[in-house]
Amino acid sequence: MLTRYGTSNILILLFSSLCLLVTSYYINIQWLSVIFKLLSLILILFTFWFFRDPTRIISQDVLNDESIIISPADGKIVAIEEEFEKHYLKTDSIRISIFLSPLDVHVNRSPVSGQVKFYEYFQGDYLVAFHPKSSELNEHSRIGVENNFGKVFFKQIVGFLARRIVCELNIGDKVNSGEKFGMMKFGSRMDVAIATNSEILVKLGDRVVAGETIIAKLSSNL
């Protein structure tokens, strides 16, 4: 299944692949014609791979427990650090950063159940998504969700290949853990910031799956 968040991109890429294929039949040089056909095929395969939206099974335990934080994105844990979160939590926090390669699923899912209390969009720069300063300098969205166990802050951050974030969340919305809310297009990163007394259940280098991998647990009720 392909994600609806990428419909316009999918149409453009498929049209481009069709143009390459048609052009190949008008090229008299055989080896160049073959290259155009291969490029057309690669573009089609990339489009269907990158914009895929696989079904994810959200555990009932996760849906019933608001303290559980699940991964909002597919990718690799590249940082687990303490820092002052200045936008929403406005206190010391633990930041868990997930890096997405162009081959990972880029559809995003809510890491926690609760109500959206904060949302901001920042146009940003073009640093690679794994750069330490990309979290603040690149295009990103800032989202804050609150429930009975506390506040969770997370960011969609895109890299240097593109400046395109899709986020359907608005302040006041209620979300469930694992619920799809948007997409980051091309090389990207997702940051999740939670209270310092939370239990961290992943380590550096772990591969995580959006909607399925439990990455942390909030410690106590408000």
Residues catalogued as catalytic? 188
Q: Specify the residue for token string 């359907």.
A: 168
The 10 Å CB-count burial string (b at 16+, else e) for 19-48 is ebbeebeeeeeeeeeeebbebbeebbeebe
Nearest to 209 by CA among 3, 56, 1: 56
Residues with Cβ within 8 Å of residue 47, at least 6 apart in sequence? 9, 10, 13, 14, 17
Residues with Cβ within 8 Å of residue 168, at least 6 apart in sequence? 181, 182
DSSP string for 119-170: EEEE--B---TTSTTHHHHBSEEEEEEEETTEEEEEEEEE-SS---EEE---
Rounded CA-CA distance 73/205 in Å is 14
Q: Which helix (H) or strand (E) holds 19?
A: helix 7-24
Decide if 97 contacts 191 (C-beta within 8 A).
yes
